A = this chain, B = another copy of it.
Amino acid sequence: MGKSRQLVENKRRIPRQARAEETVSAILEGAAQVLEAGGLAAFTTNAVAERAGVSIGTLYQYYSDKGALLRALAEREMRVAITGVARALHDESDAPPEERARAAVRAIVHAFHGRQRARKAVVQAVLAQGIAIEMVAPVAAFIAEAGSTPRPGLPDLSPEQQFVVSRALMGAIRAAVLEEAPFLKSRAFEDELVRLVLSYVRSVSDPMTMKPSL
C-alpha cells in the first residue's frame, strides 16, 4: 500500500523538503482548529493561515483553493474514522454478531467525539460540494461490510439493503451529533443503535418476521 494514498485530488505541490511536510501539517491542524472554534462561517483562508502560523501565500502553495483545503481536511478525518472502525472490527473478529456490531457502533460514535464542531463543519461543507458521495462511500462501505460479509447467521444484503442500514445508522449518529443530543455517549443510545442494525439484518435473514408482501 502506498505511503499516503489520496481519496480525492487536492494537493497542489508535493512537499520535498522536510520543512514543507511540517507546514502542511500545520495548515491542516490550523484548519481543524479554526473550524472547531468558529464553525464554517469562520473558516476563511486567511484565518486558517494565521492560526497555522503560516502566511496566506504558503497556504496557497499547497492547496489550490479553499475547497481543496476543506477536502483534504475531510479526507484526514475520514481516514481516522475508518481506521478506528477497522481496528475495532478486527479486534472483535471472532466475537458473535452482537459484539461486533456493538464494537463498530462504539467506534463510530467515538470517532465523532472531540472536535465535534470541526467534524460537523467538515461534514456540512463536504456535503455542500459534490464530493459527498465519493467521500462518504468508503466509510459507508466499511460499515455495511459487517452485514454484507456472508457469515454464519448473517445474510448477504442487496445494494438497497446495504444502503439503508449504513445510512440509517450514520443518520442516527449524525443527528445525535448535530442536535447535540445529551445521550450521545450513553449506553442506552448505543444499545438502540445496535438494536437498529441487528433487528434489520435479522429481519432480512428471517423472512418469517416480515409479511411476504413486504
Q: Which residues of A contact B (CB under 8 A)?
A: 40-41, 98, 102, 124, 127-128, 132-133, 136, 158-161, 163-165, 167-172, 174-176, 178-181, 183, 186, 188-189, 191-196, 198-200, 202-204, 209-211, 213-214
Contact = CB atoms under 8 A, between A and B. Distances in A.
A159 B183 CA distance: 10
Contact of A183 (B40, B102, B160, B176): B160
26 contacts: A41-B128, A98-B211, A102-B214, A124-B127, A124-B128, A132-B179, A158-B188, A160-B183, A160-B188, A160-B189, A163-B175, A163-B176, A163-B181, A163-B192, A164-B172, A164-B196, A167-B172, A167-B175, A167-B176, A168-B172, A170-B175, A195-B203, A198-B210, A199-B199, A199-B202, A199-B203
B133 A179 contact: yes
Residue with the greatest number of chain B CB neighbours at <10 A, chosen from A98, A124, A136, A192: A192
B202 A132 contact: no
Nearest to A175: B167
Contact of A214 (B127, B191, B210): B191
A171 B175 contact: yes
Nearest to A157: B192
Contact of A178 (B132, B172, B213): B132
B195 A214 contact: yes
A200 B189 contact: no
A172 B183 CA distance: 21
Contacts of A204: 195
Contacts of A203: 195, 198-199
Nearest to A188: B160
Contacts of A211: 98
A178 B180 CA distance: 22
Contacts of A169: 168, 171
Contacts of A167: 171-172, 174-176
A209 B202 contact: yes
B175 A192 contact: no
